[in-house]
Amino acid sequence: MPKTKKKKGISRRQQMEGRRWKDQYEKLLKFKDEHDHCNVSTYDKNNKELGNWVKSQRYLYKNGKLSAEQINCLQGIGFEWVRHKQVSWDERFQQLKQYKDKNGHCNVSTYGKVNPKLGKWVDNQRQSYKKESFHLNKSNILRVLDLNGNYRNMCL
């Protein structure tokens, strides 16, 4: 096996990894310019390699394996370290109230551009209600009653 030449204390392998990181970072910058975010899906056929790289950056960050320079670069472009923020029931309920105030109904589309995650949450609430696995404590029921005057018409 050939020896790896060192340049200023950095092995050839480290130099190549550094170049690859910068290349992927440049691709991410272009992706962000086009899409206004850095959340590249691993299922995106046109950007599969970049999506896998983004996923690995999150993993490396979580495990303390990224350099301070890499972290600063990614944070500087608005990179989200945690992709799926867990939203509480109360937060979604507040979003639903705002949606209803604006639109006059609770029929939030799961496919629309407005708030598909809220639509999915409403759909999940309906499914839970139908399966009778929908458990609300008294304060949640009061909030639901506040929304529409009666529980059944809340949007379920």
Read off the pLDDT of residues 108-143 as tens digits, 9 standing for 90 and up: 888 877 778 888 888 887 777 666 655 655 445 545
Lookup result for tokens 């990179």 = 79
**Between these two residues, 7 and 93, which has the higher pLDDT value?**
93
Average pLDDT over residues 96-101: 84
Does residue 120 come out as left (phi exceeding 0), alpha (psi in the -120 to 50 range) or beta? alpha
Residue 78, Ramachandran bin (φ over 0: left; ψ between -120 and 50: alpha; else beta)? left
Q: pLDDT-based confidence at 144, cuts 50/70/90?
A: low
What does the block give as tokens for 30? Answer: 């272009």
HSE (CB half, 13 Å, CA atoms) of 50? 19
* 44 — pLDDT class (breaks 50, 70, 90): confident
Distances (CA, A) of 46 to 4, 5, 36, 51, 128: 34, 36, 17, 9, 37
End-to-end CA distance of the chain: 67
pLDDT value at 40 more than 70: yes
The single-letter DSSP state of residue 74 is H
Residues in Cβ contact with 22 at an 8 Å cutoff, skipping those fewer than 6 apart: none
Q: What confidence tens digit (pLDDT) does each residue in 45-88 have?
A: 899 999 999 999 999 999 999 999 999 999 999 999 987 666 77
Tens of pLDDT, residues 12-22: 877 778 899 99
The larger pLDDT score, comparing residue 36 to residue 136, is at: 36
Q: In the chain, pLDDT over 70 holds for what percent of residues?
A: 74
| 9 to 6, 12, 13, 52, 91: CA distances (angstroms) | 6, 10, 12, 29, 51
Cα distance between residue 104 and residue 126, in whole Å = 18
- Give me the pLDDT at residue 59, please: 93
